[in-house]
Amino acid sequence: MSAAPQPVRHDLARSLAQSRTWDLVVIGGGATGLGVALDAAARGLSVALVEAEDFAKGTSSRATKLVHGGVRYLAQGNLRLVREALRERAILLRNAPHLAQPLPFLLPVYGAKGRWFDQWFYGSGLMLYDLLSGRQRLGRTEFLGAQAAAHLAPGLQVRGLTGAVRYWDGQFDDARLALALARTAIARGATVINHCAAVGLLHEAGRIAGVVIEDRESAQRNSLRTRCVINATGVWVDEVRRMDRTPRADLVAPSQGVHVVVDREFLPGGHAILVPKTKDGRVLFGVPWLGKTLLGTTDTPRTDLAIEPEPFREEIDFILGEASRYLARAPTRADIRSVWVGLRPLVKAPNEDPGDTKALSREHAVLVERSGLATVTGGKWTTYRAMAEDVLAHCMANQLLPSRPAGATAALPLVGAPASGERPLSDPPGLHLYGTEASAVLSLPGAEHDLAPGLSEAMVRFAVRHEYARTVEDVLARRSRQLFLDARLAASIAERTAAILCEELGERFDAGKSLRDFAALAGRYCQLPAQPAQ
C-alpha cells in the first residue's frame, strides 16, 4: 500500500511563489509553529509556514521526550499549568498513539528517613497529580517496597533503597511528532516548507503586510503577502522581533539542557526514574527511549543562540555524578553514545534575574506588537496545541484573522495514527513508529536491507519521498533518531544514506556537502568537552 498522496517540496515552493494574500504566515517549524499551522489550517484559514533549517531542528528534537503535566510545576504550586498540561497529555496520546504513549516512572527513596518522609511527601504530591488528571489518569500512583522497586527497575542502586513511588506520565518521539504535525497540516491544505528562512518583514503604513523569505536550496528570495504573521521561532523570537524595526527588550532568557545517552543495560525494564532533588535542587530523569537510556537534563543560562550549542564539562559531570548515585552500574564518559543540547525558550518577566533560569516561567507568552506581529514562545512540547489556540485567539481578538471557533484539533488524528500504539516507545526503533504507514514503507525498495538496527533503506526512501528529508542530517537526526541514539553508528551509515538520497533526489542533492556537514555534526555529538589535566 502506498502513503496518501501529498505535495512534494517543489509543489510547496511553487505555491509560495504564487501571487496571493495568505491569512497567516508562521515563522518557525518547531512544535509551536507547526501546532499553529495545523490549528489554523484545520479551521479553514490559508496558511504558509517557513522553517529555516529542518522541522524540529531547534529545541523541538532535543526534549527529554516526556509528554507530561510537569511534576516539578506541581511542587511549585502551579496547578493551572499542571492541569492544562495533563489535559493536553491525554489529547496527544489519543491523536498520535504510535508516537506518544504512557510510561511508568519510579521515584526511588533511600534511607530510613526517606522511607517515611520522602515516600509520604512525594507520594501525596503524586496522588494530587493523579487527582488533577481526573478521568485522563494513565495509571494509579502506588507506594512500593524496595524489593518491588528493584524488580521493576533492575538497574536501580539497591544499597540503601527503602522504597519507591510509582506514577504514570507519557513519552514521545519529539522529532517524528513534529513531522506528523507538518504532514497533517499539509494534508489540511497548509503550505509548510523546510530549509526556507524568513529574512525580513514587509510593512505598510506601520503595519506588517508580509514576510520576505529565502529558499535555502535555490537561494531565491520571495515576498509573501499576509494579513497576519506569527513569530514562533523559539529561542530566536527576539531576532525576528528585531526585524520589526522598533528595538524592544528581549522576551526570552535561554537556558540550555544537556542529555546524554547510554545503553539500555544501565536501566533495563520499562520504567523511567525520576530523581526529585539532585544535589543542586533540580530534577533528573533516566528514561528508556528507543532501545537506549536518556539521562538528563541540566538548566544552564546561555546568552548565545547557536543552532548546535555545546555542552559544558560541568553539565556532563553533573549528569554522570547524579546517575552514579541512583544506578547500580555507574555510567562513565566512555559509555556515552551521544550527547545533545537544547535551548529552552524561557519567558522573561521584568526584573527577573537572568542568572537563575530555574526560577523563570515555564508558561508560554503571547505578545501582539503594535505593528501586528504576533509572537508566541515558552511553554513546553506537551502544551503546543493549547499554545496554538491561545495565539490564534489573540490574533482573532486583534482582528488580524477572521474569527473561527477553537477546538478543531482536539480530536484530529495525526498522519499515520493507528487506533492504538503497537509497541512501547522504549523499544528499539522500527516500523511501529510509522503507524498505519508501515505497509507503505514496506512497499518501497530496500525494505529488507537494514543500514542500522531499526533503519532500513526503504525508510530512507520514505523519508525523502514522504517526509521532506533533504539532507543526510534530516534523515539520520530526525526521520530516524540514529544521531541522538548513537552518534558513531550514525556517522558509519552516512555514506550509504547519502547514496540513497542521491538516487531519490538526483542532481538536486549535493552529496559531498551533506556528508561533510553530517560528519562534523556527528563528531560533536560523540565528542565530550575535555577534562582538565590531572
Ligand X SMILES: Cc1cc2nc3c(=O)[nH]c(=O)nc-3n(C[C@H](O)[C@H](O)[C@H](O)COP(=O)(O)OP(=O)(O)OC[C@H]3O[C@@H](n4cnc5c(N)ncnc54)[C@H](O)[C@@H]3O)c2cc1C
Q: Which residues bind ligand X (CB under 6 A)?
A: 27-33, 50-53, 57-60, 62-66, 68, 197-198, 232-234, 236, 240, 257, 297, 342-345, 377, 379-382
Which residues, in sequence order, are CB contacts of 130 under 8 Å at separation 6+?
137, 140, 141, 167
Give the whole-angstrom CA distance, residue 290 versus residue 258. Answer: 18
**CB closer to ligand X, 103 vs 431:** 103
**CB closer to ligand X, 384 vs 462:** 384
The residue whose grid cell reads 542521491 is 502
**CB closer to ligand X, 198 vs 490:** 198
**CB closer to ligand X, 27 vs 106:** 27
Output DSSP code: residue 357: G
**CB closer to ligand X, 188 vs 380:** 380
Phi then psi for residue 84, to 5 deg, are -60, -45
Strand partners, 422: none
Give the whole-angstrom CA distance, residue 531 versus residue 534. Answer: 8
Which residues, in sequence order, are CB contacts of 19 under 8 Å at separation 6+?
225
The answer to whether residues 392 and 38 touch, using CB atoms and an 8 Å cutoff, is no
Give the whole-angstrom CA distance, residue 207 versus residue 311. Answer: 41
The answer to whether residues 136 and 152 touch, using CB atoms and an 8 Å cutoff, is no
Question: What's the closest the beta carbon of residue 240 comes to ligand X, in angstroms?
Answer: 6
Question: What's the closest the beta carbon of residue 2 comes to ligand X, in angstroms?
Answer: 29
**CB closer to ligand X, 33 vs 372:** 33
**CB closer to ligand X, 86 vs 489:** 86
**CB closer to ligand X, 65 vs 394:** 65
Question: What's the closest the beta carbon of residue 531 comes to ligand X, in angstroms?
Answer: 23
How far, rounded to the nearest angstrom, does the alpha carbon of residue 271 sit from its chain's CA centroid?
21
Give the whole-angstrom CA distance, residue 215 versus residue 93. Answer: 34
Question: What's the closest the beta carbon of residue 376 comes to ligand X, in angstroms?
Answer: 8
Question: What's the closest the beta carbon of residue 520 comes to ligand X, in angstroms?
Answer: 18
> How many Cα atoms occupy the beta-carbon half-sphere of 377 within 13 Å?
30
**CB closer to ligand X, 225 vs 329:** 225
Residue 217, number of CB atoms within 10 A of its CB: 17
Which residues, in sequence order, are CB contacts of 188 under 8 Å at separation 6+?
38, 41, 42
Burial zone of 100 (CB within 10 Å; 0-12 exposed, 13-18 middle, 19+ buried): buried
Question: What's the closest the beta carbon of residue 93 comes to ligand X, in angstroms?
Answer: 13
Question: What's the closest the beta carbon of residue 534 comes to ligand X, in angstroms?
Answer: 31
Question: What's the closest the beta carbon of residue 231 comes to ligand X, in angstroms?
Answer: 9
Residue 275, number of CB atoms within 10 A of its CB: 18
Question: What's the closest the beta carbon of residue 199 comes to ligand X, in angstroms?
Answer: 7
Question: What's the closest the beta carbon of residue 371 comes to ligand X, in angstroms?
Answer: 16
Give the whole-angstrom CA distance, residue 140 versus residue 7. Answer: 44
Residue 353, number of CB atoms within 10 A of its CB: 10
Question: What's the closest the beta carbon of residue 472 comes to ligand X, in angstroms?
Answer: 18
Phi then psi for residue 295, to 5 deg, are -125, 125
C-alpha pair distances (Å), 395 with each of 130, 350, 391, 399? 34, 24, 6, 6
Give the H or E element holding residue 355: none
Which residues, in sequence order, are CB contacts of 172 under 8 Å at separation 6+?
65, 66, 67, 92, 96, 99, 100, 101, 381, 425
Question: What's the closest the beta carbon of residue 208 comes to ligand X, in angstroms?
Answer: 14
Asked if omega into 297 is within 30° of 0 (cis), the reply is yes
Q: Can you read off the three cell numbers belonging to residue 444?
A: 518501497
**CB closer to ligand X, 3 vs 343:** 343
Question: What's the closest the beta carbon of residue 451 comes to ligand X, in angstroms?
Answer: 26
Output DSSP code: residue 4: P
